[in-house]
């Protein structure tokens, strides 16, 4: 695992966008795994800038997002589908048909949605570069700490600390969806290259355990230590406990 510490959030976002742009230069038909949350927001803004400057094109790129809240309408401003359109897809030349999120409207369709998502990733040839954020409890995607982790895309009940952390995007904690569909740990670990982003002091504990601790289901990001090509890009505050 390669760890890169940069000064602040701005530098982190620029560097993250540069990694994505570099991968795109090498392969214009890149299969890109994407994350939501506050951390990658400026990376997306920077990628939009690079597109506007004609430095990159997303015309042949296919994307697969890590996760989506279960049963949330796509038009709901809290959905990750909405987030991706607002922060990225609507501002670049990506083909909407090439963008994927594990969205599911009805309980009856969960199984079908999850297995179809895995098949779509597989028929795209697998994920070339997966961008990850990091939960304060060490989750990646929505793979929450627990006695075991699931391998493939699945329905998950969110941990209390995740509901609390994500409640800042909602009017009240009661409005945060309690369930989500997420890529599994195997789906993530099969990506050819992984770029984990973490910024700010709140992430320092999870970063330290993920990088230096034992590999444990109690901290899903620790599994990245087993990946062949994972880069951890963090700012000085997130690196505070290293
Ligand atoms: C969310 C998402 C993750 C994200 C993480 C960190 O719950 N499911 O994919 O990486 O939490 O979010 P943030 O970047 O807002 O701290």
Q: Render pLDDT for 149-182 as a digit per residue (tens, 0 to 9).
A: 999 999 999 989 899 988 988 888 888 999 999 9
236 catalytic residue (yes or no)? no
Query: Ligand 1 centre from 119 Cα, in Å?
Result: 24
Whether 161 sits among the annotated catalytic residues: the reply is no
Burial 127-165 (b: 16+ CB within 10 A, else e): bbbbbbbbbbbbbbbbbbbeeebbebbbbbebbeebbeb
Q: Specify the ligand 1 atom closest to the Cα of 141.
A: 9
Q: At residue 112, does pLDDT exceed 90?
A: yes
> What is the predicted pLDDT for the residue at 100?
98
Counting atoms of ligand 1 from 1, which one is nearest the CA of 202? Answer: 16
**How many CA within 13 A on the CB side of residue 145?**
17
**Given this model, what pLDDT does residue 235 score?**
98
């Amino acid at each position: 695992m390669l760890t890169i510490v940069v000064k602040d959030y701005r530098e982190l976002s620029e560097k993250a966008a540069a990694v994505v742009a570099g991968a795109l230069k090498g392969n214009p038909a890149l299969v890109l795994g994407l994350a939501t949350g506050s951390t990658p927001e400026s990376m997306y803004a920077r990628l939009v800038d690079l597109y506007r400057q004609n430095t990159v094109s997303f015309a042949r790129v296919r994307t697969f997002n890590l996760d989506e809240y279960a049963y949330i309408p796509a038009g709901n401003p809290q959905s990750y589908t909405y987030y991706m359109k607002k922060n990225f897809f609507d501002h670049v030349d990506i083909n909407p048909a090439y963008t994927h999120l594990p969205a599911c409207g009805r309980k009856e369709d969960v199984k079908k949605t999850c297995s179809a998502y895995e098949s779509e990733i597989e028929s795209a040839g697998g994920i070339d570069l997966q961008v990850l954020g990091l939960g304060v409890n060490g989750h990646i995607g929505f793979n929450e700490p627990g006695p075991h982790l699931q391998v493939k895309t699945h329905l998950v009940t969110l941990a209390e600390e995740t509901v609390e952390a994500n409640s800042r995007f909602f009017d009240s904690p009661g409005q945060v969806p309690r369930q989500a569909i997420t890529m599994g740990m195997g789906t993530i670990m099969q990506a050819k290259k992984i770029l984990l982003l973490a910024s700010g002091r709140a992430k320092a504990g999870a970063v330290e355990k993920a990088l230096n601790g034992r590999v444990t289901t109690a901290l899903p990001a620790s599994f990245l230590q087993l990946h062949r090509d994972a880069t951890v890009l963090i700012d000085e505050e997130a690196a505070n406990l290293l």
